[in-house]
Amino acid sequence: MKAAHPLSNFVTLETDSIEVVRDAMTRAYCRHRVHTEHWQPKIAARHHEVTLSTLSLHYLTYGMEITVCASELPDFFLLDLPLSGHCSYRVGSREFTSGEGLGCVVSPGLTLQTKWSCDTALMAVKVPRAVLERHLADTLECTITEPLRFEPEFDYSFGARASLRALVDFLVLELDRHDAMRHTPLWCAQMERAVAMGLLTTQRHNYTEALEAQVTNPGPRYLLRAEAFIRANLSNEVGIAEIATAAGVPERTLFAAYRKHKGLSPIAHYRALRLQAARDNLVRPEPADTVASIACRWGFYHLGHFSRDYYRRFGERPSETLKAHC
């Protein structure tokens, strides 16, 4: 008996038409080109797709040698995990060939070209940029100022990345069950978080050092004193001089420690914590609370700037948060 394809309950495409493939894959991913050197291509394409909450899982095969080109990924990250065959990747300026144990992570804004062997089949995890960067911001307790950018080569043949691959395999098996927990929104949200944090903590990116420093090295005692002072004075206006005095070190020393252990400045950390405090109030408002009153409570007196920074940090406007919890 022939084994079923992964995510067999979520078939979105089964076709021998390359034109149909082009249109369907543009809808599923982004605008791109699909071409082959064969004059009359014999394609046997399949695409299966299921979405948890915002993260989606995809099974894809073309059944022939084919080249796919995208000028850039718009607003999502893509993790490709080959099941069979091999793909030659060009991600930005990086080139490599994937196969058993080696996949690819593509970040938004990068050009992508892949050449598939005829027997290539893969699982792909598609994560919206806003979702993944929000998990990163929550972990670092700061606003993400530079776009998140991953190293493209994803070696999951051993170690922690193998565990992430195993988590994806578990999700595929679970989602293929008719009585699966995918019908439980809370479970879907937790699985999305597990995959997002797995990717953030196993694959190197431009915020990896900040994450590692936060987990493995909380920093010297004066850094802890500075953070305690900041947290105790979130409702007050404080500057770098007051924070350095509370820490008991010169401002330059404090700046250097913050950059090394947290990847941001003391004032940026102070502002991020204030934004979080404002969000906490918006989620649990008092009867008379408004966006303006909460913003001013935490020192944000320019509502336009507050709304902009809040949206960058949390992916929604303050008014949307308040409305959802009134």
235-282 per-position pLDDT tens digit = 889 999 999 998 999 999 999 999 888 888 999 999 998 999 999 999
What DSSP designation does 139 have? H
Q: What mean pLDDT comes out for the span 68-90? A: 93
In a domain, 256, yes or no: yes
Are 185 and 244 in a shared domain? no
276: which 2 tokens?
């979080």
- The answer, yes or no, to whether residue 1 has pLDDT greater than 60, is no
Domain total in the chain: 2
In a domain, 1, yes or no: no
Find out whether 209 and 220 touch, Cβ atoms under 8 Å.
no
- Tell me which of 211, 232, 258 is where a domain ends: 211
Q: What mean pLDDT comes out for the span 27-37? A: 85
Q: What mean pLDDT comes out for the span 74-93? A: 94
In a domain, 226, yes or no: yes
Are 103 and 82 in a shared domain? yes
Alpha helices (runs of H) in 176-316, residue ranges in sequence order:
185-202, 208-216, 221-232, 240-247, 251-261, 266-283, 291-297, 303-314
Going by pLDDT thresholds of 50, 70 and 90, the confidence category of residue 326 is: confident
Are 207 and 223 in a shared domain? no
In a domain, 3, yes or no: no
- The answer, yes or no, to whether residue 142 has pLDDT greater than 90, is no
Please report, for the domain that includes residue 240, its CATH number.
1.10.10.60
Residue 302: CB atoms within 10 Å? 10
Are 168 and 272 in a shared domain? no
Are 288 and 225 in a shared domain? yes
Are 82 and 180 in a shared domain? yes
Please report, for the domain that includes residue 46, its CATH number.
2.60.120.10
CA distances from 51 to 55, 75, 285 (A): 6, 16, 32
Half-sphere CA count of 40, side-chain side, radius 13 A = 0
Q: Across-strand partners of 90?
A: 95, 113
* Percentage of residues of the chain with pLDDT beyond 70: 95
* Percentage of residues of the chain with pLDDT beyond 90: 62
Are 281 and 201 in a shared domain? no
Q: Which residues contact 134 (CB under 8 A, 6 or more apart)?
A: 313, 314, 315
Find out whether 317 and 324 touch, Cβ atoms under 8 Å.
no
110: which 2 tokens?
């990068």
Spatial CA neighbour of 114 closest among 176, 62, 49: 62
- pLDDT value of residue 218: 67
What DSSP designation does 283 have? H
Going by pLDDT thresholds of 50, 70 and 90, the confidence category of residue 65 is: very high
- The answer, yes or no, to whether residue 216 has pLDDT greater than 80, is no
Tens of pLDDT, residues 107-132: 999 999 999 999 999 999 999 999 99
Q: Across-strand partners of 82?
A: 122
- pLDDT value of residue 99: 87
Are 200 and 265 in a shared domain? no
* Distance from C-alpha of 54 to C-alpha of 134, rounded to nearest angstrom: 13
In a domain, 187, yes or no: yes
Q: What mean pLDDT comes out for the span 178-185? A: 78
Are 72 and 129 in a shared domain? yes
294: which 2 tokens?
């909460």
Instruction: Return the SS3 of 290.
Output: coil
Are 98 and 223 in a shared domain? no
Instruction: Return the SS3 of 257.
Output: helix
- Tell me which of 211, 238, 270 is where a domain ends: 211
In a domain, 40, yes or no: yes
Which residues form the domain of 168?
11-211
In a domain, 192, yes or no: yes
- pLDDT value of residue 177: 85
271: which 2 tokens?
């502002």
- Tell me which of 186, 211, 236 is where a domain ends: 211
Are 17 and 141 in a shared domain? yes
| pTM of model > 0.85 | no
Are 33 and 80 in a shared domain? yes
Going by pLDDT thresholds of 50, 70 and 90, the confidence category of residue 31 is: confident
The alpha carbon of 246 is separated from its chain's Cα centroid by a whole number of angstroms, namely 36
In a domain, 255, yes or no: yes
